[in-house]
Copies of this chain bind each other. A is one copy, B any other.
Amino acid sequence: MPQSISVKTSSRVEMVDITASVQKEVSRLGVTEGFCFVYVPHTTAGVTINEGADPAVCHDIISRLNELVPANEAAYRHIEGNSDSHIKASMMGSSVTVIIEKAQLVLGTWQKIFFCEFDGPRSRRVNIKVW
Contacts and interface: CB of A to CB of B under 8 A. Distances in A.
Interface of A: 1-2, 34-35, 37, 39-43, 48-51, 54, 56-57, 59-61, 63-65, 67-69, 73, 75-80, 83-84, 86-87, 89-99, 101, 106-111, 127, 129, 131
Contacts of A75: 60, 63-64, 67
Contact of A39 (B2, B68, B99, B109): B99
A127 B97 CA distance: 12
Contact of A97 (B37, B40, B48, B110): B37
A25 B34 CA distance: 18
Given A41-B106, A42-B108, A86-B60, A35 B99 contact: no
Contact of A86 (B42, B50, B93, B106): B50
B50 A90 contact: yes
Nearest to A65: B87
